[in-house]
Amino acid sequence: MDILKRLSHYREEEEKLYWEGTFADYLELLKERPWIAQSAHSRVYNMINDAGVGEVNGKKKYEFFSRQLFGLEEALEKLVEEYFHPAARRLDVRKRVLLLMGPVSGGKSTLVTMLKRGLEAYSRTDKGAVYAIKGCPMHEDPLHLIPSHLRQDFYEEYGIRVEGNLSPLNLMRLEQEYGGRIEDVMIQRIFFSEDRRVGIGTFSPSDPKSQDIADLTGSIDFSTIAEYGSESDPRAYRFDGELNKANRGLMEFQEMLKCDEKFLWHLLSLTQEGNFKAGRFALISADELIVAHTNETEYRSFIANKKNEALHSRIIVMPVPYNLKVSQEEKIYEKMINESDVADVHIAPHTLKVAAMFTILTRLKEPKRGDIDLLKKMRLYDGENVEGFNSADVEELKKEYPEEGMSGIDPRYVINRISSTIIRKEIQSINALDVLRSLKEGLDQHPSITSELKEKYLNYISLARKEYDELAKKEVQKAFVYSYEESAKTLMDNYLDNVEAYCNKVKLRDPLTGEEINPDEKLMRSIEEQIGISENAKKAFREEILIRISAYARKGKRFDYNSHDRLREAIQKKLFADLKDVVKITTSTKTPDETQLKKINEVVARLIDEHGYNSTSANDLLRYVGSLLNR
């Protein structure tokens, strides 16, 4: 089996990565590769950067997050640039607990899981290699072996700062096993693994009455006290708490603010001083990134409690709101469906888009500006061109409600409703109407939706339905027009010839008779009226088109069908208007004649071949558009 060969190859690769040597050997490694002595925060930052950084609309896009998190570019840029980057440079923010705050199913847990899995993989690369004192349960940094009075000299020679003190156990081992000879202490390469509890830990609060602080800091091994004679002997202590095991890497503090206060006080010392108290020992040094997550309600309650003031300044809060872009929300649904057992069900084009529209509308706040409605705002946020608005308007809209995206419908609800639709219909194809119907039915079962919210959400479902009606009509329009692009191009070229003649006050030559004729005003108006260009505005619109053509020509580019959004829309609507009666008759006839049947079959074939439908969803679409046109 191929999988057995691959397992064998994986094992061989793991063996090649392993390294073991003395502290003296480790220092030689440091001369060649000083980056292996990086801090936990630095390792996380470099891991994210090494995966690649791009730019989209002036915002940084981190490839590390791009496969799992969608529409959170701004939040992620803030997280990396305002927390990870300065923390990696040893600035004061590294002495803070990172608290991700946001609504349910907004991506907080996914983000932390990505960091954990990323660190596991990164520790197997050259740039992410981690070395520790061999046999240490806390995977301690070998540089802790360097005595305090030599650290300045070490910095001057190697350019590496050493922070933290040798743990009680390794201090004892240094004396008893190595006779104080630091250069002989054995060092090994370690690989982060949450399953093996190496460099990655997870702490989850449970019943405060029964949960023990030992879950965080380790505990005394009573079975060894008789052997070692004292509770203060480090060999009689289990360094197996989450803070011990997460040393050098990351610890996730799940639902941190639900935790009993006595657990949180340990974080004060760890974050500020880089150490914590365990058993009857001196403070134990630990270098780890502590990341927690919570929702907004719990955070507000935590802030309101005066007893927590000491912790407030030790926490950096990073909001993780819901995504507010329709196209990115679609990707979230696609990802969740692909991870399920219904990935083979045919989902008709625009189904997920329409569901995403409804979801995004529930998360947006009503604009304060009178010239922008919720639908325009939704389109602007998604990067669409909306006539009369630009990127400055988008930035202004975002400033109106800084907390936007912290409420609304979560992706899990939508996926649950899509799943319900698939299971209930028991067929291999669903469309937008099926999902909208299911979303509507589900509002009654949603525990946190008030009657007032329900009314609002029903209105958003109606808006999404109207948007789908337009999408459906356009889809059928494209399929009905034979050689659609060629027909559109011919109509546009004809329009542009007439516009050019009109603006330059010249006549056109008839291609058949050769006689000179005036620009076809009727043709031009029939196209311009499709997008609401009034008689008074027609001259300005035509001149704008001519200026655009000239601008393209100067840059050596060809002005084509996709060069002007409003003109393209007008051409599409004009073509569809000319065909409307044909479409209406063909799609609504219960017993089509031979010609009509041939046309329907051609359209269905085109919808399947060029637009991503199957035979069921294509026929459903035709019937629906026929009913729309007959209203």
More confident residue, 565 or 116: 116
Extract the tokens encoding 210.
């029964």
For residues 409-425, give the mean pLDDT. 85
pLDDT at 92 over 90: no
- Global pTM value: 0.83
> Residue 210: is its pLDDT beyond 70?
no
Give the model confidence (pLDDT) of 299-318 as tens digits: 888 888 777 777 787 889 99
Mean pLDDT of 527-555: 91
Q: Is the pLDDT of residue 483 over 60?
A: no
Q: Are strands 97-101 and 59-62 parallel, antiparallel or unpaired?
A: unpaired
Residue 289: its H or E element: strand 289-294
Class of residue 469 by CB neighbours under 10 A (exposed 0-12, middle 13-18, buried 19+):
middle
- Amino acid 246: pLDDT: 92
By DSSP bridging, strand 200-203 and strand 250-253 are parallel
Q: In angstroms, what CA-CA distances link 116 with 111, 123, 230?
A: 9, 11, 37
Is 469 within 8 Å of 463 (Cβ atoms)? no
Contact 26, 142 (CB under 8 A): yes
> At residue 345, does pLDDT exceed 60?
yes
Residue 460, phi then psi, degrees to nearest 5:
-65, -35
**Could you give the residue ranges of the DSSP H alpha helices within 206-291?**
214-217, 225-228, 242-245, 261-273
pLDDT of residue 524: 93
Tokens of 322: 């819901």
pLDDT value at residue 589: 67
Q: Which residue from 34, 111, 100, 98 is spatially nearest to 68, judged by alpha carbons?
A: 111
| Residue scoring higher pLDDT (262 or 493) | 493
What percentage of the chain reaches a pLDDT higher than 70?
Answer: 95
User: Residue 51 — very low, low, confident or very high, per pLDDT cuts 50/70/90?
Assistant: very high
- pLDDT at residue 154, rounded to an integer: 94
Q: Please, which pLDDT band fits residue 484 given cuts at 50, 70 and 90?
A: low
Residue type, 562: N
Query: What gap in Å lies between CA 166 and CA 285, rounded to an integer?
Result: 7
Q: Which amino acid is residue 565, in one-letter code?
A: D
Q: Cβ of 87: how many Cβ atoms within 10 Å?
A: 23
- pLDDT exceeds cutoff 70 at 482: no
Q: What is the pLDDT of residues 213-244, one digit of tens each?
A: 778 888 888 777 777 777 778 888 888 888 88
- Mean pLDDT (the chain) is 87
Letter string b/e over residues 189-216, b meaning 16 or more CB atoms within 10 A of that residue's CB? bbbbebeebbbbbbbebeeeeebebebb
Q: What is the mean pLDDT of residues 113-130?
A: 95
Flag the least confident range among 106-120, 143-157, 277-291: 277-291
Do 532 and 387 contact (CB within 8 A), yes or no? no
Q: Which two tokens stand for residue 138?
A: 């806390």
Residue 459 is encoded by which pair of tokens?
A: 């209105």
Residue 418: per-residue pLDDT: 87
Kindly provide the residue ranges of all beta strands, DSSP E only, lying in 198-288, ordered along the sequence.
200-203, 219-220, 237-238, 250-253, 275-276, 284-285
> Looking at the domain 3-319, which fold is it?
Rossmann fold (3.40.50)
End-to-end alpha carbon distance in the chain: 61
Q: 482-512 burial, b if ≥16 CB within 10 A, otherwise e?
A: eebeeebeebbeebbebbbbbeeeeebeeee
Which pLDDT band holds residue 426 (cuts at 50, 70, 90)?
Answer: low
Say if residues 421 and 337 touch (Cβ distance below 8 Å): no
340-344, 375-379, 536-540: the lowest-pLDDT one: 340-344
Q: In the structure, what pLDDT confidence band is assigned to residue 1 with cuts at 50, 70 and 90?
A: low
Of residues 514 and 333, the one with the higher pLDDT is: 333
Beta 186-190 vs 20-22: how paired, if at all? Answer: antiparallel
pLDDT at 60: 87
Lowest mean pLDDT among 247-261, 375-389, 417-431, 610-624: 417-431
Q: Is 509 helix (H, G, I), strand (E, B) or coil?
A: strand
Backbone angles phi, psi at 451, to 5 degrees: -65, -35
Q: Is the pLDDT of residue 354 over 70?
A: yes
Mean predicted confidence (pLDDT) in 472-485 = 76
Q: What integer pLDDT is reported at residue 424 of this predicted model?
A: 73
Highest mean pLDDT among 235-239, 254-258, 420-424: 235-239
Any idea where the domains of the chain sit in the sequence?
Answer: 3-319, 326-467, 484-578
Q: What is the pLDDT of residues 3-39, one digit of tens each?
A: 888 888 888 888 888 999 999 999 999 999 999 999 9
At residue 588, the pLDDT reads 66
Q: Who's near 461: CB < 8 A, 6+ residues apart?
A: 358, 436, 439, 440
